[in-house]
Homo-oligomer: A and B are copies of this chain.
Amino acid sequence: MASEAAVSVMNASPLNASPLNARQSHLLDQLQAAGHELSGQDLHARLRSTPHCMGLATVYRHLRQLQQRGLVRCRHLPSGEALYAPTERDEHHLTCVDCGRTLPLRACPMHDVHLQPQQLDGFRLLFHTLEFFGICASCQERQDVP
């Protein structure tokens, strides 16, 4: 029997201390509207032709702040590029270490996972990234018959 309640990895509520500023809201809107992950460069390009246009440095600045509030998560592709998505979209991926193809997983296998408070050492959980790596079917074939 656990001495303390375990902490679901899913109940990481965003920090709502202060409201988002307009710039941050627009970035979050874009990420939500896109339906898939975007890089900092993508976001900058998408906003370029809108009234919410902002410099690249500002895009990165606000993405970092959104991340620190737990509203946005980012993952790195093997290429080094960072992709951002709203944390409310709990999507994770399977990536081929050979060709780099990436496949979204339909369900987050972490939904039922809990962490013990003593593992957290006072951390306030905001979000997690879970990525699987392997070799996709076509790269397996290519390797078998070179």
**Chain A residues proximal to chain B, CB less than 8 Å:** 9, 12, 15, 17, 67-68, 70, 73-74, 76, 78, 80, 82, 94, 96-98, 103, 105-107, 109-110, 113-115, 119-137, 140, 143
CB pairs A–B below 8 angstroms (11 shown): A70-B133, A73-B133, A76-B76, A94-B119, A94-B123, A105-B115, A110-B110, A115-B132, A121-B136, A122-B136, A126-B135
Q: Contacting A128 at CB < 8 Å: which of B68, B82, B103, B132? A: B132
Q: A128-B131, A130-B130, A131-B129 are in contact. Are A137 and B122 (CB under 8 A)?
A: yes
A110 partner residues in chain B, CB cutoff 8 A: 109-110, 113, 130
* Copies of this protein chain in the complex: 2
Q: A107-B119, A132-B9 are in contact. Are A68 and B126 (CB under 8 A)?
A: no
Distance between Cα atoms of A135 and B82 in the complex (Å): 20
Instruction: Please tell me if the beta carbons of B124 and A132 are within 8 angstroms of each other in the complex.
Output: no
Nearest-CB distance from A26 to chain B (Å)? 21
A76 partner residues in chain B, CB cutoff 8 A: 76, 80, 82
Q: A113-B110, A130-B130 are in contact. Are A123 and B135 (CB under 8 A)?
A: yes
